[in-house]
Amino acid sequence: MYQQGSLVELEITDLSNNGDGVGRFAGRAIFVPNTVTGDRVLVRLLRLKKQYAYGKLQNILSPSPHRIRPNCIVADKCGGCQWQHIDDSYQRTVKQNHVHESLKHIGGFNDPQLSEILFSPEVLGYRNKVTYPLGRSATGKVQSGYYRQNSHQLINLNQCPIQDVRLNPLLIDIKQDIEAQGWSIYDENKHQGRLRHFSLRIGKRTGEILLTLISTHKNLSNLHQQAETWLQRYPNLVGVALNYNPKTGNVIFGEETTIIAGRPYLREIFAGLEFHLGPDTFFQINTEAAEILLNAIIQKLDLKGTERLVDAYCGIGTFTLPLAQKVKQALGLELNPNSIAQARDNARLNNIDNVTFMSGKVETLLPQLSFSPDIVMLDPPRKGCDRAVIETLRNLEPSQIVYVSCKPATLARDLQQLCQGGKYHLIWLQPMDFFPQTSHVESVALLRLNP
């Protein structure tokens, strides 16, 4: 019976874009976390809607051939990963299909031709940055980890299989040190307390680590001494920072970061260049996968060295600088002024002098360009491009547009708008598995201007 709390038997026939298994009961779709196509399961119905419901897995009656034993003991509870129970090959198959279906049904591309999905060489230990919320246990002990699926209930972790293994020892010790210092932990319900999160970032190729504490106050007692202790204890820890975020809500980092001890950056090697990465600027989470994707883009563009390139949403110049070495002129646009400052530093560090960077909204800066670019590269946030960016690109008419996306639905929408009226045509679409063990998929598309 289709009612709250009912136990029903389901055959899981698909995986949703959010990572849930999908079955059908009484003519309705039932979304069930921690399942996979081919599972026969017993499910308790929850959160009933007219056309669909969410269910909680009660028992696996017959496991799918794609089901494996997770590498994490809390994989069925933690919201950090959705797919640790699914074999890697099938994860990639599903992600490829999600991109294809988005282009077909949202973008209106009748038969989109996708290249075979590229994937991370590391399916575990690939994350170069982790940010953990802090909380307290029922007995008052400091905890950190990830939230349970679809909740703000904290699961305490002492290690995480998808983060770089060199970060695990710090995860345990930092909690103990926070406890020993007596620093208050922020309560998001009462809006009281100081420490909200801590973040660890590592240079995959150098091993250098930055630690950042995120706090509602600028002052934590004995912080400088504790920071120096951390630097002495961990030889690879090169800097400790404090990020000030007094605002309520789910935004993790505030706008003000202070270096407490050590360096304000770590060194990383990417695409043959040295990059300095700060504690609060954007860099691709999966270093190896990002380099594979960049090389695929370079190969597809077939650059001659005469091109003028604009990299919108450029961050710290991760893709801008390697591409600048292969074109005549490059310009990076980015909203975050800290990222722009770091991009300029990275250009100087690598003696790349044919690139400039501008800080501001892409939708504001792009129409003000003093030249007509041959290539525009887009790497917007999950919400995709502002409509003004799309219209400006259609007016600028660059001969090629590269669009890197972390959400197939918004990629499909934006590609449809760019190609409207036959202005551009899609010549390459490459899915990339940046985030193994999760349902997230990266894609890159190449558009060419029609003559």
Q: How far apart are CA 213 and CA 199, in angstroms?
A: 6
* pLDDT at residue 160, rounded to an integer: 95
Beta strands in 233-322 (DSSP E): 237-244, 256-262, 266-270, 273-277, 308-312
Domains of the chain, CATH where assigned: 7-67 (2.40.50.140), 92-122+286-449 (3.40.50.150), 129-270 (2.40.50.1070)
Tokens of 220: 């934590």
Single-letter amino acid, residue 21? G
Give the pLDDT confidence score for residue 338 in this predicted structure: 92
Q: Other C-beta atoms within 10 Å of 3: how many?
A: 9
Cα separation, 182 vs 124, whole angstroms: 34
SS3 392: helix
pTM over 0.85: yes
pLDDT for position 151: 84
CA dihedral 76, 82, 86, 90 (to 10 degrees): 170
pLDDT in the model for residue 111: 87
- List, by residue number, the catalytic residues: 406
43-58: buried (b, 16+ CB within 10 Å) or exposed (e) per residue?
Answer: bbbeebeeeebbbebe
Q: Please spell the DSSP secondary structure of 176-239, one letter per residue.
A: HHHHHHTPPBPBTTTTB-SEEEEEEEE-TTT--EEEEEEESSS--TTHHHHHHHHHHH-TTEEE
Q: What is the pLDDT along the chain (451 residues), one digit of tens a residue?
A: 778 899 999 999 999 999 999 999 999 999 999 999 999 999 999 989 889 999 999 999 999 999 999 999 999 999 899 999 999 999 999 999 999 999 999 999 998 999 999 998 899 999 999 999 999 998 999 999 999 987 889 999 999 999 999 999 999 999 999 999 999 999 988 889 999 999 999 999 999 999 999 999 999 999 999 999 999 999 999 999 999 999 988 899 999 999 999 999 999 999 999 999 999 999 999 999 999 999 999 999 989 999 999 999 999 999 999 999 999 999 999 999 999 999 999 999 999 999 999 999 999 999 999 899 999 999 999 999 999 999 999 999 999 999 999 999 999 999 999 999 999 999 999 999 999 999 999 999 999 999 8
Q: How many other β-carbons are positioned within 10 Å of the β-carbon of residue 422?
A: 7
Residue 158 pLDDT: 92
Nearest Cα neighbor of 126 from 167, 178, 174 is 167
Q: Which pLDDT score, from 0 to 100, does residue 430 have?
A: 98
pLDDT of 150: 79
Which residue in this structure is represented by tokens 């001890």?
261
The confidence score (pLDDT) of residue 2 equals: 77
